[in-house]
A and B are shown apart, each in its own frame.
Chain A
Amino acid sequence: MAAINVRNLCKTYGPRIAVDDLSVTIEDGEVFALLGPNGAGKTTTVEVLTGHRRRDHGVVEVLGHDPAHADLGWRTRIGVVLQEVQDAGQLTVAEVVRHYAGYYPSPYHPDEVIARVGLTDSARSRLYTLSGGQRRRVDVALGIVGRPALLFLDEPTTGFDPEARRQFWEIVRALRGDTTILLTTHYLDEAEALADRVGVITDGHLVCVGPPAELGGRAAAPAEVRWLDGGAPRTVTAADPASVVVELSRQFGGPVPGLSVVRPSLEDVYLDLIGAQR
């Protein structure tokens, strides 16, 4: 069964179209990244899927229910990690995780969740003393403590330094398997590192969906073969780079100096995709 099924979702704010005819299916156990620039409609989509915003048109099913008419029983199976929450600064990590565990019928043990997000050493720290990255881990702890079947992560690493982001990715990777995850991000490397499939959204349109490696026909696109010929850089663009490499290897009679094969980067594909819409 699909965890999320969206058909022809539309949402406007006054004259502004936030989400325009968006359709997507996210399978059980999948990690799906909704990738797009700021203002593309990512957060609005998540808000509709979590039952916090009314849609104008379209059919939406999340864990088999329409979120617009979902009850608290449905909500026990959903975890949501929102943007920009700065609450409960005077509570400790352990207090807040334990409290939120109390809302669910069969939560994980709070200490295990704290360990899982790597905050065991800060469990007794008040939230206001934590760094931005640590607070985000608390957010994730509160999102997963109820043992959700489906987890929404809305731009979880915005504002992180590179090291904190990589540590955070490890936490999300460890959730894989237990939980279906819908992640929104405007970072390409994040989508590529975490997602089974990526949906590129821009101006409310879902312009492309696929595994990161195949996005925008990337896997089949011509690649550049580069090498050094007597110290001078040489480049050949080929639909079948392997044959070029075999030929080079034969010419050099062994290792090819400075050899590399470069596919168009995800960034190139992404900029193409969102550029086409602008």
Chain B
Amino acid sequence: MTTTEATLASAPAPAAAVRRPSALRLGLARGLLDLKLFFRERDAVVFTFALPPTLLALLGSIFTDTFDNTTVTASQVFAASMIAGGIGSTSFVNLGIGMATERDDGTLRRLHCVPMPPVAYLIGKVVLVLVTSLAELAVLLVVGVAFFDLTLPTTADRWLTFTWIFVLATISCSLLGIVISNVARSARSAPAVVNLPFIVLEFISGVFIVPITQLPPLLLQVGALFPLKWAAQGFRSVFLPGTMAVNEAGGAWEHGRIALVLGAWCVGGLLLCLMTFRWRGRRYR
């Protein structure tokens, strides 16, 4: 102990000009830490990644019809739509519950005490969500291709479409997850608070319903207000033949509108985040 104290006491005084670490570097360090924390909760990892493929397996086994004048099966449509559902769970659900938990257990209060630019925290979450969403995507593609006749796109422009839809869907759903984390009063209540709107959204966004036009018009219209519907539609446009566009609510893939709605949610979601963000839980107001 004595030697330790001597070392500390004799350590050189910090130079006044030493710069603080950059927000990007801190954000990447936070992302690494968040990934460690996520992947070390083994049970949570297994169930997070297993839920969408399980739903896909159930739906794909129950509904086996083929669409008129095509060889496209209902399970192929589910496999495409479920990618949106999977992203929703790794972004909206995981961030919503994760941040409510971090607010409750004091992670955020602690971070508020250190010289961390808030954007570093956000960068960390981006890294976490990107990595987990890509992993979820890989699982769903493997399951979809192996068991549900999902075919991977072969043209560059389809992969380009896929990429921008994936990015915009992940960002918009993440931001909404951050917003809803503020609604949960505690870590314990967070799963209930986050899952209800998510499952409702999955239904009215056509993730569980094939074709989406089977939904009552009112539910369709409500679903069309949120990003999940447009993400699912976008992934169908990438993984299904062009002839399937007639089965969409608008009778077309509507890429322009998808970009518009998802982009608007990225901006609006960020504003909502900034307006509602809190460092402390309700217990510590």
- Which A residues are closer than 8 A to B by beta carbons? 50, 52, 72-73, 75-76, 78-80, 82, 84-88, 90-91, 95, 99-100, 102-106, 108, 112, 115-116, 118, 126, 142, 146-147, 174, 177-178
A106 touches B14 (CB 8 A): yes
B113 touches A84 (CB 8 A): no
Tell me if B114 is interfacial: C-beta within 8 Å of chain A.
yes
Given known contacts A102-B21, A105-B19, A174-B5, is B36 in contact with A91 (CB within 8 Å)?
yes
Residues 96-146 of B contacting A (Cβ, < 8 Å):
102, 105-107, 109-110, 112-117
The number of chain B residues touching the other chain, given as a range, is: 20 to 34
- A115 and B8 alpha carbons, distance in the complex (Å): 11
User: Residues of B contacting A102 with CB < 8 Å?
Assistant: 21, 25-26, 29
- A147 and B102 alpha carbons, distance in the complex (Å): 25
Within the complex, which residue of A80, A85, A108, A142 is in contact with B105, where a contact is CB–CB below 8 Å? A85
Within the complex, which residue of A84, A88, A104, A116 is in contact with B5, where a contact is CB–CB below 8 Å? A116
Nearest opposing residue in chain B for A142, CB measure: B110
B105 touches A87 (CB 8 A): yes
Within the complex, which residue of B18, B102, B115 is in contact with A75, where a contact is CB–CB below 8 Å? B115
Nearest opposing residue in chain B for A104, CB measure: B115
Given known contacts A76-B20, A87-B102, A106-B14, is B7 in contact with A112 (CB within 8 Å)?
yes
Tell me if B264 is interfacial: C-beta within 8 Å of chain A.
no
B115 touches A80 (CB 8 A): no
B14 touches A147 (CB 8 A): yes
B4 touches A115 (CB 8 A): yes
User: Residues of A contacting B1 with CB < 8 Å?
Assistant: 115-116, 118, 174
Tell me if B15 is interfacial: C-beta within 8 Å of chain A.
yes
Within the complex, which residue of A52, A87, A100, A146 is in contact with B106, where a contact is CB–CB below 8 Å? A87
B110 touches A85 (CB 8 A): yes
A99 touches B115 (CB 8 A): no
Q: List 7 A-B contacts (CB under 8 A).
A: A72-B20, A80-B113, A88-B107, A90-B40, A90-B41, A95-B36, A112-B4
User: Residues of B contacting A52 with CB < 8 Å?
Assistant: 112-113, 279
Tell me if B33 is interfacial: C-beta within 8 Å of chain A.
yes
Nearest opposing residue in chain B for A103, CB measure: B114
- A178 and B9 alpha carbons, distance in the complex (Å): 7
Given known contacts A85-B105, A90-B40, A106-B14, is B114 in contact with A146 (CB within 8 Å)?
yes
Interface string of B2-16 (1 = CB under 8 A from A): 001101110100110
User: Residues of B contacting A91 with CB < 8 Å?
Assistant: 33, 36-37, 40
- A85 and B111 alpha carbons, distance in the complex (Å): 11
**A90: min CB distance to chain B, Å:** 4
User: Residues of B contacting A84 with CB < 8 Å?
Assistant: 106
Give 8 nearest A-B pairs by CB, closest first: A85-B106, A106-B14, A87-B107, A90-B40, A80-B113, A105-B18, A72-B115, A75-B115
**B19: min CB distance to chain A, Å:** 6
User: Residues of B contacting A88 with CB < 8 Å?
Assistant: 33, 37, 107
Given known contacts A73-B115, A116-B4, is B9 in contact with A82 (CB within 8 Å)?
no
B8 touches A178 (CB 8 A): yes
- A118 and B5 alpha carbons, distance in the complex (Å): 12
User: Residues of B contacting A73 with CB < 8 Å?
Assistant: 20, 115
